[in-house]
A = this chain, B = another copy of it.
Amino acid sequence: MKPLIGVGMVGYAFMGRVHSQAWRNVTAFFDLPVTPSMAVLSGRSEDHAAAAAAALGWAAVETDWRELVARDDVQIVDICTPGDSHAEIAIAALEAGKHVLCEKPLANTVAEAEAMTAAASKAAARGVRSMVAFNYRRVPAIALARRYVAEGRLGEIRHVRAQYLQDWIVDPEFPLVWRLQKDKAGSGALGDIGAHIVDTAQFVTGQLLTGVSALTETFVKERPLAEGASGLAGGSRTDGRGQVTVDDAALFIGRFDGGALGSFEATRFATGRKNALRLEINGSLGSLAFDFEAMNELWFHDEAQADAGFRRILVTEPGHPYMDAWWPPGHGLGYEHTFTHEVKDFLEAIAAGTDPSPSFEDGLRVQRVLAAVEESAANASRWTPL
């Protein structure tokens, strides 16, 4: 029998549901050196948390995350709350010697992210591991894309075209949920989905952005208050509407340290695009294209080949990243298993005593890009170096 390692999860909304699915299933597919035990879930409402724990497979419940962090049966703290609480929880957990898996964006500000990274660095010296949950790195097709670039199959990278297009708030009567409030979410499309394309682009190319020029926009400036909303910064009002305090869309162009040019766009107003995380990379020897709406496919153009053309690689074959564990070729995976893979890699790193990736420092790098985008957008698209 493999040694057990106890997990405590803070928050149980969308991200908590997906993380639970990962913890619950990872050992059925991957032969791991340790076995995660779904020890405890924390949430402020005891009733709701208990119901969630029952449905999602957690053995116990705490109503205060500090209690969860303090428990002896918790060695891993998995943070699935909004960004405004990441720093406090993560730093407390790391200081308590607990490994931390933290949802992205790492924090709502660069300062918080810096403090978290410092805490992670100190903890690492004591063998305590931390990881930021940029789950799209674990899409097999994205991992294969990274492999191709690392092997030099694209040659010198010239262009990165990254978009994350959604449309869930196109309706102006969609309510003012926490993701539309700066004090909770830090930013809007930028931090929520823009963070993913920044991380994914840097991960796949192995290059870092060196500067950006940006635009942001809030198309719908006021929205109905969400049910049960209270204490809105910016003010709830007598008419039942409140101010949207984050961006609806963020566009920027930039340069990478390896010489590539990048074009980025994150928006929640791309009507008809549901979860279109798209990445297209052109190099001197080849090109890649990906769209998460068809997550099992990677398109690759190999310039050296006669009669070349983008080919649709169904990334479901043995030998493809993570795919030895799964179904036969052509029997595709779904969204949730980006998290299964994340948890697998995290557990393996903990067991091996190595630092998992992406690290809090990677998360801080993304945070700095987000901050530079906001700074540039606030200053007439001024070039903002990183």
Interface 1/0 per residue, A23-61 and B, CB below 8 Å? 011011000000000000000000000000001110000
Selected from B28, B274, B300, B328, the residue in CB contact (under 8 A) with A316 is B274
Complex interface bits, A280-303 against B, C-beta within 8 A gives 1, otherwise 0: 001111110000111111001101
When the two chains form their complex, are residues B380 and A330 in contact, meaning their CB atoms are under 8 A apart? no
Name the one of B56, B275, B286, B328 contacting A168, with C-beta atoms under 8 angstroms: B328
CA distance A297 to B254 in the complex (A): 32
Determine the residue in chain B with the shortest Cβ distance to A217: B261
Residue A115 CB within 8 A of the other chain: no
| Chain B residues in 8 Å Cβ range of A300 | 307, 309
- Tell me whether A327 and B335 are in contact (CB under 8 A): yes
Copy number in the complex reads: 4
Q: A190 on the interface (CB 8 Å rule)?
A: no
Judge whether A295 and B381 touch: CB under 8 Å: no
Asked if A263 lies at the interface with its beta carbon under 8 angstroms from chain B, I say yes
Segment at the B interface, from A90-98, A228-236, A245-253, A347-355 = A245-253
Q: List 20 A-B contacts (CB under 8 A).
A: A24-B28, A28-B57, A144-B307, A159-B269, A213-B215, A217-B261, A251-B261, A251-B263, A253-B253, A269-B282, A270-B287, A271-B286, A272-B309, A273-B287, A274-B330, A307-B317, A309-B313, A327-B336, A334-B337, A381-B382
Q: Would you list the 7 A-B pairs with minimal beta carbon distance, nearest first?
A: A274-B330, A275-B330, A311-B311, A272-B301, A334-B334, A213-B381, A331-B335
